[in-house]
Chains A and B, each alone.
Chain A
């Protein structure tokens, strides 16, 4: 690797130099414009995209950035996003179109996308850092690489979903291939493509923020990180909110345009001169405000002494909270640690001690433990629930010895066997070789620590999240409460989510666990609600007419039918969990993610990269397994998942 770099380094440095030009230009532009002009333009865009409410929100949110004195940093971040998104969209759209028209291209592109999206975000930065050196360009390249895959996927999906009869009718209208594509197919899938742009923009923003970890960009992500490291949690929250607001605004504006592309068909098309008048309004407004800003210094550079310092108040608030509930917080933390996390990690065998559980593990306890679980499993076997029988036995063994204490050969075999049962020999082979790679490179212990932390979070998320989703599907009130929370959690960049938990529980595994849970629970809730709400109504009505009670209806009809969708939710929960796990390395965990992180900060590229690949392997295996389960179920039920 180093040889490669020394040989071709000049080449990459040149690319780096070329790419830095547009960034510098964008930064120069955004900095030299007075803040009031930028706010005016952004607010106007928001108004055009989604109306007056978003415009007001945008106005307040952007003014907040000015008020707390982080305008410059925010603009640095924005300029990176502004430059990387068009490039990512351009690349993504091109590859998507290519993938649509050429089966062979699709076969090559799809696995690459999978890898790009499962490799932990930090691991992205490693090779780029190596090739391009430090600086803003690394953030730019990383965010382009991270944000083009959703564009490719949405382009392919959108083009595939263009109805056959539209294509046929366009051909019969005499369209040549070019006209067919630009005038019939593309407009028909405009919404999907705009959704792709929305997702790409969000991915770009989150990557720009994460890229701040290597520094040199003076952007808003760097500020947050700086304060987290200095343990000035209040200040990091104040700045973190800027990122969250920025994410929400960008998300709402782009998705607003996507929604609008669907709705505008309702009203008669506005005459063309309205568009022109908006443009001239924007220009005139900017010009006037620009002159005002020249006259009044405050409109150009917000005076330092007028900035508001919220951090100390927040710190005080949290301190009092932590003071008041010190005992409770400690108890929650300890209970989770002693009764759930430790047993899973090192097994009941070691976790049970007078200090944690209040007694020593005696023969009696062991006999009772194995005896009762064996009885349960035998009972399950008798009732022909073979899956649950195997499951119970495995849980029994796991919980006794602990995930990280089990030697690797049996685990490797169990995982591969599991994969074979679900997806046949191909999946089993993939699992076997993937995991063997992790063993060979010596990452197995760390991998198991990652699995353990993520595993607990996923199990918790799946159970509570799915229940919450089912509840939301039946109650419009719950749904109305849950939805905006989910939306927000999904738009906020990952490491802002960490901040409040760090404030309450300090750093460590437990805090990481909570952060993972809060982020990864979202898809479980979403998919469960979606799955239940979109069941075919005939089936529900038929079951009601057969006289099933609400509970019977739920457990015998709705949940089994919605299972494929719920399983997709599990899949997404795991993926989200892994994504958050990587970020959680910031607050001190011990798994693979930590090695990646250390590799990044210490410059130990090789090890970090291997750890990153190991994580990607685990993610891909779990992804394939859960997706296969979902597909098999939906095939058996004859349902198509929307």
Chain B
């Protein structure tokens, strides 16, 4: 596997053909089933006809090192279930889950505890803070579970408390904090053990819209420092667009489409995806690299823009320069030309 993947796309965590089925004896259906034989939708239907509830059906995806992987879906789409399968809070019915190329389903309960203590951090929708502990004790709780000495715990916790901007609140009890502050504690706690993989299960859904926006910025800031491999669950498409490197859109326990935000907008796989994307203002999502006119020759004299510049910021440039602008990558290499025409063309493909 290692050889095939390019360095920048090294896989941190991966789940392959994961099923989670609730009911009496779902295992009977999987004993002689290999996913090539049957269409997942057909098996899913067969399972529910026999009184089972299918929470996840044949879910597969990779999470790359350092990327923000967003799983987006409406309630009941199975997004919370899949993240619980990844963190092994629940056991999948079928499929495989890898972390650093090690199969989590083959780990004993003891090994799992060890993995959670050192490699995983998770933030919950309703915070999941312990009411009998104060802020600093809550943050240091995972360290306490590892058996660290009190001094060391506090020292480590102090570091993350600064990171989330709660310094000075160490001795408050959870009740005294606002929702946003409580979630800051949740975030700090999940980072206290310096995990590799960071799960966030609808972390901002319980917050007011304004606070939510603030916390998203805060999250992006923290992530730019920490560079974790993130699995982020949300039901808010706008939120997904704002923060995601890649999005997996889920429906009825299955993944409908995986791609960069712009892929979902420019080439939605079906009408369900299109429903989500149709009200999104294109110019806020499209970046310079998305509107490159492949047929056009690269001009040497034209103005240069970085490839991740939002199109919204390029509009005045495009309107003035009929020849277009040059898009360059991070190393300064010219990769193509973007013109007003290519912008319109990109929109036109999206509209269909």
> Which A residues fall within an 8 A CB radius of B?
163, 165-166, 168-176, 179, 183-184, 187-188, 190, 265-266, 268-269
Contact between B145 and A169 (Cβ–Cβ < 8 Å)? no
Q: How many A-B residue pairs have CB under 8 A?
A: 80
Known: A188-B131, A265-B132. Contact between A173 and B124, CB under 8 A?
no
Residues of A within 8 A of B113 (CB): 174-176
Chain A residue with minimal CB distance to B89? Answer: A168
CA distance A172 to B87 in the complex (A): 8
6 intermolecular pairs with C-beta atoms under 8 Å apart: A163-B128, A166-B130, A172-B87, A172-B120, A174-B145, A176-B113
Instruction: From A165, A172, A174, A176, give the contact of B127 (CB < 8 A).
Output: A165
Contact between A169 and B122 (Cβ–Cβ < 8 Å)? yes
Residues of A within 8 A of B89 (CB): 168, 171-172
Chain B residue with minimal CB distance to A268? Answer: B171
Contact between A175 and B145 (Cβ–Cβ < 8 Å)? yes
B226 contacts the other chain (CB 8 A): no
Known: A173-B116, A173-B189. Contact between A165 and B122, CB under 8 A?
no
Contact between A265 and B117 (Cβ–Cβ < 8 Å)? no
Known: A172-B89, A172-B116, A174-B113. Contact between A269 and B134, CB under 8 A?
yes
CA distance A178 to B146 in the complex (A): 13
Chain A residue with minimal CB distance to B121? Answer: A172
Chain A residue with minimal CB distance to B142? Answer: A173
Contact between B130 and A184 (Cβ–Cβ < 8 Å)? yes
CB distance from A391 to the nearest CB of B (A): 41
B77-129 interface (Cβ within 8 A of A): 84, 87, 89, 110, 113-114, 116-118, 120-122, 124-129
| Interface residues on chain B, size class | 35 or more
CA distance A405 to B17 in the complex (A): 73
CA distance A184 to B126 in the complex (A): 16
CB distance from A264 to the nearest CB of B (A): 9
Contact between B125 and A165 (Cβ–Cβ < 8 Å)? yes
What 3 A-B pairs are tightest by C-beta distance, nearest first?
Answer: A169-B128, A174-B117, A165-B128
Contact between B134 and A168 (Cβ–Cβ < 8 Å)? no
Residues of A within 8 A of B134 (CB): 269
CA distance A184 to B142 in the complex (A): 11
CB distance from A434 to the nearest CB of B (A): 34
B193 contacts the other chain (CB 8 A): yes
Chain A residue with minimal CB distance to B116? Answer: A174
Contact between A169 and B175 (Cβ–Cβ < 8 Å)? no
Contact between B124 and A190 (Cβ–Cβ < 8 Å)? no
CB distance from B45 to the nearest CB of A (A): 29
Chain B residue with minimal CB distance to A175? Answer: B145
CA distance A169 to B130 in the complex (A): 9
Residues of A within 8 A of B117 (CB): 173-174
CA distance A165 to B190 in the complex (A): 14
CA distance A371 to B231 in the complex (A): 77
B22 contacts the other chain (CB 8 A): no
Contact between B128 and A174 (Cβ–Cβ < 8 Å)? no
Contact between A173 and B175 (Cβ–Cβ < 8 Å)? no
CA distance A597 to B246 in the complex (A): 77
Chain B residue with minimal CB distance to A168? Answer: B89
Residues of B within 8 A of A175 (CB): 113, 145
CB distance from A119 to the nearest CB of B (A): 38
Chain A residue with minimal CB distance to B133? Answer: A187
Contact between B126 and A173 (Cβ–Cβ < 8 Å)? no
Residues of A within 8 A of B127 (CB): 165, 169
Residues of A within 8 A of B133 (CB): 187
Contact between B146 and A174 (Cβ–Cβ < 8 Å)? yes
Residues of B within 8 A of A187 (CB): 130-133
B143-177 interface (Cβ within 8 A of A): 144-146, 171, 173-176
B69 contacts the other chain (CB 8 A): no
Instruction: From A163, A168, A183, A265, give the contact of B173 (CB < 8 A).
Output: A265
Known: A171-B116, A172-B87. Contact between A266 and B131, CB under 8 A?
no
Residues of A within 8 A of B19 (CB): none
Residues of B within 8 A of A268 (CB): 171
B343 contacts the other chain (CB 8 A): no
B141 contacts the other chain (CB 8 A): yes
CA distance A212 to B127 in the complex (A): 52
Chain A residue with minimal CB distance to B113? Answer: A176
Known: A173-B145, A174-B142. Contact between A166 and B132, CB under 8 A?
no
B116, B134, B189, B193 — most chain A CB neighbours (10 Å) = B116
Contact between B130 and A179 (Cβ–Cβ < 8 Å)? no
CA distance A165 to B173 in the complex (A): 18
Contact between B132 and A188 (Cβ–Cβ < 8 Å)? yes
Chain A residue with minimal CB distance to B134? Answer: A269
Chain A residue with minimal CB distance to B172? Answer: A268
Residues of A within 8 A of B190 (CB): 172
CA distance A165 to B132 in the complex (A): 15
CB distance from B314 to the nearest CB of A (A): 42
CB distance from B258 to the nearest CB of A (A): 25
Residues of A within 8 A of B87 (CB): 172
CB distance from A21 to the nearest CB of B (A): 37
Residues of B within 8 A of A165 (CB): 124-128
CA distance A166 to B130 in the complex (A): 7
CA distance A266 to B132 in the complex (A): 10
CB distance from B184 to the nearest CB of A (A): 15
CA distance A466 to B124 in the complex (A): 43
CB distance from B207 to the nearest CB of A (A): 15
Given contacts A168-B84, A173-B142, A174-B117, 17 further A-B contacts (CB under 8 A): A165-B127, A165-B128, A166-B129, A166-B130, A168-B89, A169-B128, A169-B186, A170-B141, A172-B122, A173-B141, A174-B142, A175-B145, A176-B110, A183-B141, A187-B130, A265-B175, A266-B175
CB distance from B77 to the nearest CB of A (A): 19
CA distance A187 to B113 in the complex (A): 21
CA distance A458 to B26 in the complex (A): 51
Residues of B within 8 A of A190 (CB): 132
Contact between B193 and A169 (Cβ–Cβ < 8 Å)? no
Chain B residue with minimal CB distance to A177? Answer: B109
CB distance from B197 to the nearest CB of A (A): 11
Residues of A within 8 A of B122 (CB): 168-169, 172
CA distance A187 to B134 in the complex (A): 13
CA distance A188 to B133 in the complex (A): 10
Contact between A188 and B145 (Cβ–Cβ < 8 Å)? no
Chain A residue with minimal CB distance to B174? Answer: A265
Chain A residue with minimal CB distance to B175? Answer: A265
Residues of B within 8 A of A183 (CB): 141, 144-145
CA distance A338 to B235 in the complex (A): 70
CB distance from B222 to the nearest CB of A (A): 18
Residues of B within 8 A of A170 (CB): 128, 130, 141
Contact between B116 and A179 (Cβ–Cβ < 8 Å)? no
Render B297-312 as a binary contact track against A, CB cut-off 8 A, 1 for contact. Answer: 0000000000000000
CA distance A265 to B193 in the complex (A): 26
Residues of B within 8 A of A269 (CB): 134, 171
CA distance A179 to B143 in the complex (A): 12
Chain B residue with minimal CB distance to A180? Answer: B145
CA distance A163 to B145 in the complex (A): 20
CB distance from A328 to the nearest CB of B (A): 56
B114, B128, B129, B175 — most chain A CB neighbours (10 Å) = B128
Residues of A within 8 A of B118 (CB): 174
Residues of A within 8 A of B186 (CB): 169
Residues of B within 8 A of A166 (CB): 128-130
Chain A residue with minimal CB distance to B192? Answer: A173
CB distance from B239 to the nearest CB of A (A): 20
Chain A residue with minimal CB distance to B193? Answer: A174
CA distance A190 to B132 in the complex (A): 9
Residues of A within 8 A of B176 (CB): 266
B314-340 interface (Cβ within 8 A of A): none
Residues of B within 8 A of A266 (CB): 173, 175-176
CB distance from B144 to the nearest CB of A (A): 8
Chain B residue with minimal CB distance to A173? Answer: B142
CA distance A588 to B118 in the complex (A): 71
Chain B residue with minimal CB distance to A261? Answer: B132
CB distance from B112 to the nearest CB of A (A): 9
Contact between B142 and A163 (Cβ–Cβ < 8 Å)? no
Residues of B within 8 A of A171 (CB): 89, 116
Residues of A within 8 A of B145 (CB): 173-176, 179, 183
